[in-house]
Amino acid sequence: MVQQVSRVVVVGGGTAGWLTAGIIAARHQGRIKAGEFSVTLIESPDIKIIGVGEGTWPTLRTSLQRMGVSETEFFRECDAAFKQGARFARWTTGAEDDGYYHPLMIPQGFTQLNLAPHWLGDPQGRTFCEAVCPQQQLCDAGLAPKTITTPEYGAIANYAYHLDAGKFAPFLQRHCTQKLAVNHVLADITSVKHAECGDIACVVTRQCGEIAGDLFIDCSGFAALLIGKALGVPFKDCSSILFCDAALAVQIPYESPDAPIASHTISTAQAAGWIWDIGLPTRRGVGYVYSTRHASDEEAHATLLRYVGERHSHLTPRKIPIRSGHRTTFWKNNCVAIGLASGFLEPLESSAIVLVEMSAKWLSEQMPACREVMDIIAARFNDVTHYRWGRIIDFLKLHYVLTQRTDSAFWRDNVDPQSVPDRLRDLLKLWQYQAPWFFDEFDRLEEVFPAASYQYVLYGMGFRTQVEPAALADTRSGAAKLMNDNVAMTRRMCAQLPTNRELLAKIYQYGLQPI
């Protein structure tokens, strides 16, 4: 008899659990309404969600839109602001004026012409980001990526969000239960019962007895209740590549209610790690991500205090341990791990929530019809997810290997060739002779970090690719036109766009046009 997959059980009600439940429920609304499919989310009434994770990728706009979320309500209820990229300060030389942007817009004409070699041949005193995209100037001026007449989720400049993670999960919960018919169970899972084949037959809860399902999604955070504890999938440690293993997080009030809101995440390198600084409408979220091998907790605390200023010395930062790595398998039997249960890497490029979205979307599209085909789909999911973790590790490490800093053991250890993954080492060799581009080996349909991201980090950090002037002759006039277009577009946007705070005030008052 064919065993249909019609009962999806999500364990965990953090950002990962609710996004996953919402993305799947939205995709399968027809079957849910017909009573043929159900999504149930179980979360502990007592175990708190992690409550950090304030930086996102533009993919979140599509995910929220697909779930039928109103962007206006999202801004109003999640203390959300616009994010147009990240500025990395003091990562290359450590000097006061050392900094570069990783924006969210791809370089002008990216799919037709690679501007990197042209900029390398003649930078004309401009940074790479400034030469190929408007967002360095937009961020420097604290401008929003759209105006009040741009419809919900539409953009003039590409954007993601900064948000309050403590408000985001309850917001998604309301939407998923009220609009998408996701069942919500508040209960503590105490054990798991297995079927003969090793599948999970049901989870046993303290308050609501046994809850059975056909497919279980483990979003239980660092506890990894199902994938780790029940199914015993090992954890692959990556701390020999990415050293940071702790964070100290604190929330800082603005000096005044109308203080500017930064358009980008500010990431400032320190002696044993880096500090994130994220501007929300009502406060800033600031945290020091550091390596406990290179700094004691006391030193880390002192570094964070120096950054936020003595007037905030009464605030007690929260320490969050980071275990750098991921599960060796992400889908085993009838259980898929998504979110922190599947692994975590330091939040340098906000790669966690985007991976949740990509995994949930993939799963919602490839939802197995029956148990008989589940292993085939699981193998594909494991393949694509392994690829993504590998690429993210490479990309995060790129920020460290390009440093010229030698002022502390943390930075010196980070350039040790032993700590650099083989693929990244090979790519760095290749990129000495050819700039990464659209047609590079970034061959998957959906890359977490496309070749454009590599360009911004490489050339932002002073990496040089050899350029043969004669090889540029054929495309020189096309490149000059694209760079001139960029100058004109930047000027137009700077004249047209309001500041973040101005636009957010209008959104609170009038709302964005629904689409």
Ligand X SMILES: Cc1cc2nc3c(=O)[nH]c(=O)nc-3n(C[C@H](O)[C@H](O)[C@H](O)COP(=O)(O)OP(=O)(O)OC[C@H]3O[C@@H](n4cnc5c(N)ncnc54)[C@H](O)[C@@H]3O)c2cc1C
Provide the binding-site residues for ligand X, judged by CB under 6 A: 11-17, 42-44, 47, 49-50, 52-56, 165, 188-189, 219-221, 223, 225, 247, 249, 287, 320, 322, 339-341, 347, 350, 352-353
DSSP tag of 227:
I
Report which of 134, 126, 127, 136 is spatially closest to residue 157, judged by C-alpha positions.
134
What minimum distance in Å lies between the beta carbon of 277 and ligand X? 11
What minimum distance in Å lies between the beta carbon of 360 and ligand X? 11
Name the residue nearer to ligand X (CB basis): 117 or 347: 347
Name the residue nearer to ligand X (CB basis): 118 or 301: 301
What minimum distance in Å lies between the beta carbon of 354 and ligand X? 6
Name the residue nearer to ligand X (CB basis): 121 or 170: 170
What minimum distance in Å lies between the beta carbon of 212 and ligand X? 16
Contact partners, residue 167, CB within 8 Å, separation at least 6: 77, 78, 79
DSSP tag of 67:
T
Distance CA 291, CA 269 (A): 12
What minimum distance in Å lies between the beta carbon of 89 and ligand X? 17
Name the residue nearer to ligand X (CB basis): 227 or 479: 227
Distance CA 3, CA 90 (A): 56
Distance CA 265, CA 55 (A): 7
Contact between residue 13 and residue 350 where contact means Cβ atoms under 8 Å apart:
no
Which residue number has the CB closest to ligand X?
A: 14
Name the residue nearer to ligand X (CB basis): 165 or 452: 165
Question: What is the 3-state composition of the chain as percent helix, strand, coil, each rounded to the nearest 5?
Answer: 40, 20, 40
Contact partners, residue 107, CB within 8 Å, separation at least 6: 115, 116, 132, 133, 452, 455
Distance CA 140, CA 129 (A): 12
What minimum distance in Å lies between the beta carbon of 374 and ligand X? 22
Name the residue nearer to ligand X (CB basis): 50 or 452: 50
What minimum distance in Å lies between the beta carbon of 58 and ligand X? 12
Name the residue nearer to ligand X (CB basis): 189 or 336: 189
DSSP symbols for 265-318 = EEEEEETTEEEEEEE-SSEEEEEEEE-TTTS-HHHHHHHHHHHH-GGGTTS-PE
Supply 57's token pair. Answer: 């990728």
